Amino acid sequence: MPRKIVIVGAHAAGVDAASAARKTDRSAEITLISKEKHVGYSRCGLPFVIGGHIANFNDLIVFPQSFYQMMKLNLKTETTVTSINPANKTVEVATKAGATETIPYDSLILTTGAYSFIPPIKGKEKQGVYSLRTLEDGQQIDKAIRDGAKNAAVIGAGLIGLETAIALKERGLNTTVVELLPQVLPVMLDKEMAKIVHAMLTEKGLKILIGKGLDEILGTDKVTSISVAGEQIPADIVVVATGVRASTGLATKAGITTGETHAIKTNARMKTNIEDIYAAGDCAESINIVTKKPACPQLGTVAVRHGKVAGINAAGGYALFTGVLGSAVTQLFDTQIGVTGLTEFFAKREGINTVTGTITSKTRADYYPGAKPIKVKIVVEKESQRIIGAQIIGGEEATQRINALSFGIQKQMTIRELAKADTAYAPPLCETWEPMVLAAEMVLMKLR
């Protein structure tokens, strides 16, 4: 009898789990179930369609129908899994039309993702208030712009909040960003690095309000403005980007354990506490490589790696997930931002004694046309002298530098080893002294 693998969810983690399972077991019956109409698309690309960089929302669909046919995957869309019965090893599903079905499994993978968290804001039910999580969310915001919206407010200055605010600005809307915490990108950057980004965003025409909460969304049926610390700001569109929460309702109802982060607790094989049930993606917990504590960074890169490990194991193979650093990059207007590991703030919160080094340099030889500024900050554990985090803000080449520093953290590289790194140079590509090495030298000066 062929192995029956059921996967709940059909985005990054789910589709990668299905693909890995198929490569591990060629004869398995693999069923993917999603409550959404559109599956296998990139959520990360949504702001860039709104901003006009990508022509159409359908361009975000990474896996067309032909992929599922080629991989012999049974895809069920607009279908909701209503319950899991671990004793009988079945899932109950309901279609959009109301039909129900019981589907048996040998292995079950939960890739239920996350949902947009909207705090209890007065007036959040008004027309013109959106979150940005699904293709349909993006289409609704795009339609509102096409229908003549002139002013927008984005609540939250995290990664998605700022990318969305820039997209709205690029479409010609007067855009205000409201952040309750005292800086932009509070999870990604330390305060002094965030100030650089804040200044750049303001210079580009975004209005940024930090350290202030949203009092109320105003208007009758439709939003007309927002109230922030007593000030009324015009808004035809309000996008709430206050983060996401792991979708664990289905799992907890079936007796599956959640962890410290409120996501599904898994081991290194992505197994849950119930035999033959795995979890992957935004709904699943990981271990932070530096702190060795549970983490849930909810990044696309983590989702696909989770999915691969879960898929291999669910299909009878053997694979391990080694942990996360929360490595992330973005581009805000012309500025690239990257982060890996712990910021100085979060390291101190974990009780880690740190030394940091920060340097401002150029991405090419100073005399070469087009050389752009770059700022590198490295966070080092003082006692072991190991690198535990890094942040980069620059005009270009942030991604591969952050990737290199991520490799260094994973290999437990010390700051002395980085300072001696053999790096490449050519005037159109890099300075003779690599900025990461210069930042390492700054740390060594403090250690001396």
DSSP classification of residue 158: S
DSSP-derived 3-state class of residue 434 = coil
Alpha helices in 386-426 (DSSP H): 398-410, 415-419
Pairing of strands 373-381, 387-394: antiparallel
DSSP-derived 3-state class of residue 167 = helix
What is the torsional sign of CA 34, 38, 40, 41? negative
Residues 10 and 16: beta-carbon distance below 8 Å: no
Pairing of strands 237-240, 151-155: parallel
Using only the alpha carbons of the chain, give its radius of gyration. Answer: 23
CA distance 215 to 209: 13
Q: What are the DSSP E strand ranges found in 99-247?
A: 100-104, 107-110, 114-116, 129-130, 151-155, 174-179, 207-210, 214-219, 223-228, 231-234, 237-240, 244-246
Put the strands of the sheet holding 231-234 in their side by side order.
Answer: 214-219, 223-228, 231-234
Tell me the helices (H) and strands (E) count for the chain, helix number first.
12, 25
- The encoded tokens of residue 214 equal 């949203």
CA distance 172 to 267: 47
Identified catalytic residue from 44, 283, 296, 430: 44
Told to judge if 283 belongs to the known catalytic residues of this protein, a careful annotator would answer: no
Put the strands of the sheet holding 387-394 in their side by side order.
Answer: 328-332, 335-341, 387-394, 373-381, 354-362
- The encoded tokens of residue 250 equal 């289905």
256: Cβ contacts below 8 Å, ≥ 6 apart: 110, 248, 264, 272, 273, 274, 277, 279
Catalytic positions are: 44
